[in-house]
């Protein structure tokens, strides 16, 4: 006999962002009995946690799905997009106006936030604990799970000096890098991405605008404002970029988070593995930070030799699932961690709400979708990371990636389409096609970056680029306003968006070809654009001139 006190609908292992969000999502839907168990005595911990920047999917998830909008606006900063910075050759680069920048000038209509992780976790814990059916066990050790197919799973652990056994229909692992179930079930897989990270919290706001050679009263009217405008760009997730590495600068209330992420072939972990070494490295690489960080109190520091890993599967009809870093993680460059939490939790919540008979097909579809989201990102991080070292290459890369993100990730998520098996089938077909294009395009951009590197003009003049100069990116963003769509309408929107993305891929290729052959007219030549075979795309400068002549000839013959 199972005592009623020991019977739960769901046991969640780990009270971090993933676990607490899942509990909130489940409790908002119905009063389920949830037991959360965590090894920590203090929840949330006071130390720095990474995962501070949100993007549109996670921003929507935390504010709208979890109904935290007021808390977010009260306790966290609204994020002013992602903003990239590059040093300008021939300049001292000790002032913000020396740097080239790429950005979006307006705020996103699907708002994003800079999270103080400990503050949002404290709020989630408070809201969950206010429900009678939620319990949280701190200081739990030696957690083990015995899976049973017909009966509730058996979860054992030690806490408060004794052993406890409980029973649960579902067990969800949200233990982050503890990876309790992945280890237990042998699901761990390595990732092709080999990137490390070192990060600090420093006291106070690093307001980039103040690190200038301009007298302070003239800052509001600096000529650079013609490009960047007047919004406080310190609210952005500011990325200072170099070949194979980037530094994030994220404002939190009363403190600033800075973190270096690097390809281990480009930066040695030994050079950045303490707060002092990291700050020295940053100040050498980006002289602006000599001013910004000198004399600042360091509040905390952490590092990972390796950020990325994969897992075999993340949800099973045997009534277990993984969410957050307990499953897989790619790379922080575009802040996908919160998005993965949003997607996994949403699918897990739908699986838990369903009946057992529907689980095999549902979990198979959900697992394929979770994998597709992960795999689609891998080439961006594993293939073309060096392109971070060049503004023009990165402008092309990010325009593509952001347009794919807006159309293929944000649009379905804000319409809650991902739980539908019928939608997933259509979606995965389109993602497979886009995935093949993406593989080719990422390799193409990487090769272009290497070709361009010795040829770049060292003009000593910073350049400014607004990503929304791309009409195709604006079309992708217009999907934010396609809301409340039926399944058929969603398919139509996605088909149109996929066609727009293919067009964007062709435009990007032609911009590169125009530069390589030294003929600007090539970029706008519709017949050349149409002649590109995206399935066999390769960056081969020696063939480009000949290819343009041939394709133009064929187009002329066809028009006669
Ligand atoms: C360098 C870096 C930068 C990142 N930046 C971003 C970003 O800007 N934006 C973004 O969205 N994502 C980012 N991410 C990803 C983000 O950090 C994760 O998505 C997020 O922290 C995962 O939260 P979680 O709840 O899965 O794990 P955690 O927050 O680590 O929570 C796990 C919980 O499980 C508990 N636990 C662990 N082991 C056990 C055990 N054996 N028994 C019981 N309990 C256990 C822990 O005590 C903890 O409370 C970044 C990742 C890295 C590596």
CA of 392 to the centre of ligand 1 (A): 33
Q: Closest Cα partner for 245 from 211, 275, 269, 280?
A: 269
Beta strand pairing call for 245-252 and 237-242: antiparallel
Relative to the CA of 45, which ligand 1 atom is closest? 49
**Residue of the nearest CA to atom 44 in ligand 1?**
38
Q: Are 239 and 381 in contact (CB under 8 A)?
A: no
272, HSE (Cβ side, Cα atoms, 13 Å): 29
Name the 3-class secondary structure at 108. coil
Q: Closest Cα partner for 153 from 111, 185, 107?
A: 185
CB atoms within 10 A of CB 423: 20
Q: Are 326 and 179 in contact (CB under 8 A)?
A: yes
List ligand 1's pocket residues with C-beta within 6 A: 13-19, 37-40, 49-54, 58, 140, 143, 174-176, 178, 180, 197, 259, 261, 304, 307, 324-326, 332, 335, 337-338, 341
How far from chain centre, in Å, is Cα 207?
Answer: 24
Relative to the CA of 178, which ligand 1 atom is closest? 38
State whether the Cα torsion 85-86-88-92 is positive or negative: positive
Phi, psi of 199 (to 5 degrees): -145, 155
CA of 321 to the centre of ligand 1 (A): 16
Two tokens, residue 408 = 């293929």
Phi, psi of 306 (to 5 degrees): -145, 130
How far from chain centre, in Å, is Cα 423?
Answer: 23
CA of 95 to the centre of ligand 1 (A): 34
The DSSP string of 37-96 is: E-S-SSSS-SS--S--B--HHHHHIIIIIS--HHHHHHHSEEP--EEEEEPPTTS---SG
CB atoms within 10 A of CB 266: 16
Relative to the CA of 58, which ligand 1 atom is closest? 11
> What are the Cα distances from residue 394, in Å, to 244, 398, 421, 467?
12, 6, 35, 11
> What are the Cα distances from residue 490, in Å, to 121, 260, 280, 375?
34, 39, 50, 23
CA of 358 to the centre of ligand 1 (A): 31
Name the 3-class secondary structure at 186. coil
For residue 309, give the DSSP letter: B
CA of 16 to the centre of ligand 1 (A): 6
State residue 1's pLDDT score: 75
How far from chain centre, in Å, is Cα 60?
Answer: 14
> What are the Cα distances from residue 551, in Å, to 8, 242, 333, 505, 544?
66, 36, 37, 18, 10
CB neighbour class for 184 (10 Å; exposed up to 12, middle 13-18, buried from 19) = middle
- H or E segment at 362? helix 359-382
Q: Closest Cα partner for 79 from 45, 104, 50?
A: 104
Phi, psi of 439 (to 5 degrees): -55, -50
State residue 457's pLDDT score: 83
Q: Closest Cα partner for 423 from 490, 355, 341?
A: 490
Q: Closest Cα partner for 510 from 478, 472, 484, 475?
A: 472
For residue 107, give the DSSP letter: P
In testing the pocket of ligand 1, which one of 16, 120, 251, 335 has its CB within 8 Å of the most ligand atoms? 16
Going from the first residue of the chain to its last (560 residues), give the mean pLDDT of each consecutive group of 10, the final group possibly shorter: 90 98 98 97 94 98 98 98 97 97 98 98 98 98 95 97 97 98 96 97 97 94 96 98 98 97 97 98 98 96 97 97 97 96 98 94 98 95 96 98 98 97 97 97 98 90 97 98 97 98 98 97 95 96 94 85
Compute, in degrees rounded to 10, the torsion defined by CA atoms 144, 149, 150, 152: 20
Number of H helices, E strands in the chain: 17, 20
- HEC sequence for 200-236: EEEECCCCHHHCCCCCHHHHHHCCCHHHHCCCCHHHC
CA distance linking residue 555 with residue 256, whole number of Å: 56
CA distance linking residue 220 with residue 224, whole number of Å: 10
Two tokens, residue 523 = 């970029």
Tokens 């350049």 belong to which residue? 463
> What are the Cα distances from residue 539, in Å, to 143, 158, 385?
52, 58, 17
Two tokens, residue 358 = 């529907």
Q: Are 66 and 167 in contact (CB under 8 A)?
A: no
- H or E segment at 128? helix 117-129
State residue 340's pLDDT score: 97
Residues recorded for the chain: 560
**Residue of the nearest CA to atom 42 in ligand 1?**
39
Q: What is the pLDDT of residues 484-535, one digit of tens each?
A: 999 999 999 999 999 999 999 999 999 999 999 999 999 999 999 999 999 9
Relative to the CA of 175, which ligand 1 atom is closest? 34
Relative to the CA of 248, which ligand 1 atom is closest? 8
CB atoms within 10 A of CB 225: 11
Q: 421-452 vs 391-405: helix axis angle to the nearest 10?
A: 180
Q: Are 175 and 15 in contact (CB under 8 A)?
A: no
């Amino acid at each position: 006999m199972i005592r009623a006190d020991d019977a739960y609908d769901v046991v969640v292992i780990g009270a971090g962002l993933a676990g607490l969000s899942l509990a909130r999502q489940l409790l908002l839907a119905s009063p389920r009995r949830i037991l959360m168990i965590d090894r920590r005595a203090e929840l949330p911990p006071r130390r720095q946690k990474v995962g501070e920047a949100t993007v549109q999917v996670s921003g929507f998830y935390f504010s709208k799905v979890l109904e935290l909008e007021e808390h977010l606006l009260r306790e966290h900063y609204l994020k002013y997009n992602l903003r990239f910075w590059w040093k300008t050759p021939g300049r001292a680069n000790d002032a913000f106006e020396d740097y080239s920048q790429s950005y979006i000038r307006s705020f996103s209509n699907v708002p994003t936030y800079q999270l103080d992780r400990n503050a949002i976790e404290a709020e989630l814990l408070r809201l969950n604990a206010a429900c009678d059916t939620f319990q949280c066990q701190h200081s739990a050790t030696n957690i083990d799970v015995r899976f049973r197919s017909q009966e509730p799973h058996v979860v054992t652990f030690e806490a408060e000096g004794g052993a406890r056994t409980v029973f649960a229909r579902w067990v969800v692992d949200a233990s982050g890098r503890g990876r309790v179930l992945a280890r237990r079930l042998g699901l761990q897989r390595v990732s092709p991405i080999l990137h490390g990270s070192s990060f600090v919290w420093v006291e106070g706001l690093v307001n980039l605008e103040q690190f200038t050679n301009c007298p302070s009263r003239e800052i509001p009217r600096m000529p650079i404002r013609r490009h960047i405008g007047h919004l406080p760009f310190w609210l952005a997730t500011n990325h200072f970029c170099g070949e194979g590495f980037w530094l994030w600068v994220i404002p939190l209330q009363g403190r600033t988070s800075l973190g270096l992420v690097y390809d281990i072939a480009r930066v040695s972990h030994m050079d950045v593995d303490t707060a002092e070494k990291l700050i020295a490295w940053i100040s050498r690489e980006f002289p602006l930070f000599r001013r910004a960080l000198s004399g600042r109190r360091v509040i905390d520091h952490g590092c990972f030799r390796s950020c990325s890993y994969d897992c075999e599967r993340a949800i099973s009809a045997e009534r277990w699932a993984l969410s957050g870093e307990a499953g897989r993680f790619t790379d922080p460059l575009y802040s996908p961690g919160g998005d993965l939490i949003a997607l996994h939790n949403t699918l897990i919540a739908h699986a838990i709400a369903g009946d057992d008979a529907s689980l095999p097909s549902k979990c198979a579809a959900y697992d394929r979708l979770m994998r597709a989201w992960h795999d689609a990102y891998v080439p961006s991080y594993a293939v073309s990371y060096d392109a971070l070292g060049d503004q023009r290459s990165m402008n092309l890369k990010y325009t593509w990636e952001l347009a794919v993100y807006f159309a293929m990730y944000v649009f379905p998520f804000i319409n809650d389409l991902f739980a539908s098996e019928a939608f997933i089938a259509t979606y995965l077909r389109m993602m497979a096609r886009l995935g093949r294009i993406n593989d080719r395009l990422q390799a193409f951009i990487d090769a272009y970056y290497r070709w361009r590197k010795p040829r770049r003009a060292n003009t000593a003049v910073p350049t400014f680029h607004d990503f929304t100069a791309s009409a195709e990116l604006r079309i992708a963003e217009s999907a934010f306003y396609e809301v409340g769509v039926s399944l058929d309408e969603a398919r139509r929107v996605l088909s149109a968006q996929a066609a727009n993305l293919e067009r964007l891929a062709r435009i990007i290729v032609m911009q590169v070809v125009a530069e390589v052959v030294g003929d600007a007219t090539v970029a706008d030549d519709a017949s050349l654009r149409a002649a590109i075979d995206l399935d066999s795309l390769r960056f081969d400068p020696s063939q480009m001139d000949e290819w343009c002549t041939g394709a133009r000839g064929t187009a002329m013959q066809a028009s006669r």
